[in-house]
Amino acid sequence: MYRLITRLITVLWVVAAADVEVSTVSQDELRSAVIVNQLLLSQQTDILKELLNNTQHNQVFPGPYCPHPYTQVLDECFYLSTHKLTWEKARQHCQGMLGDLASPKHPYALKSFIISSIGIGDDKTVFVGGEDESKNRQFKWLDGRVIATSDWSPGEPNNSHGREFCVNLYNTRHPVFNDISCDEQHLFACQYYRPKAN
């Protein structure tokens, strides 16, 4: 951006220098000055177009990679709550933060983020954005991806007591995901989804 502004200032300075008094020059000199000005104006147009593109890009990606209070983990933006809610209320909370419950592409990256934030323990389990919405044992992330078989903890999803339709992450387990009752109250992980560039 600084380079472009410098170029624009330089071009404007040259245009000003070429703006000589018409009354003191010949027609040939005047014609030459007009041609030079036309070339410089064309160059200014190109520079302004480039500046406009940069401005639009900055509007899509304002400031740092993840807006506060989200934290960048690999190429995703997470927020870990400090209070416990049911799955649905947790989702509303995340949506109120311009995100949604986390649907991590890299579950172990989210696990590491949780452990580094609050330590490890079964009492520190975290709701994430996976659910069996149709209640037919088809668990999906909120972005529509099916939760990979390899990401479930051993023996899960087991639909314990026939009422486990939401997904949580146990940072004590490997792999990490478990189906759990949506009505329990747990900590939760939100995710901010960055707008895609055009």
- Which residues in this chain contact Ca ion in the complex, by CB under 5 A? 156, 158, 160, 164, 178-179
> Least CB distance from residue 157 to Ca ion, whole Å?
6
Residue nearest to Ca ion (CB): 179
Report which DSSP code applies to 188.
E
For Ca ion, which is the closer residue by CB, 73 or 182?
182
> Least CB distance from residue 86 to Ca ion, whole Å?
16
For Ca ion, which is the closer residue by CB, 104 or 130?
130
For Ca ion, which is the closer residue by CB, 100 or 156?
156
Spatial contact of 37 and 22, defined as CB atoms under 8 Å apart = no
> Least CB distance from residue 128 to Ca ion, whole Å?
14
For Ca ion, which is the closer residue by CB, 117 or 153?
153
Instruction: Name 106's Cβ contacts closer than 8 Å, sequence gap at least 6.
Output: 73, 74, 76
> Least CB distance from residue 75 to Ca ion, whole Å?
29
For Ca ion, which is the closer residue by CB, 163 or 194?
163
> Least CB distance from residue 144 to Ca ion, whole Å?
22
Parallel, antiparallel or unpaired: strands 187-192 and 76-80: antiparallel
**Element counts in the chain: helices (H) and strands (E):** 4, 8
Longest dimension (CA), the chain: 97
For Ca ion, which is the closer residue by CB, 49 or 137?
137
Report which DSSP code applies to 155.
T
Helical ranges in the chain per DSSP H: 2-18, 27-60, 87-96, 107-118
Nearest residue to 137 via CA among 146, 128, 145:
146
Report which DSSP code applies to 150.
G
> Least CB distance from residue 137 to Ca ion, whole Å?
12
Measured between alpha carbons, how far is 62 from 66 in angstroms, rounded to an integer? 9
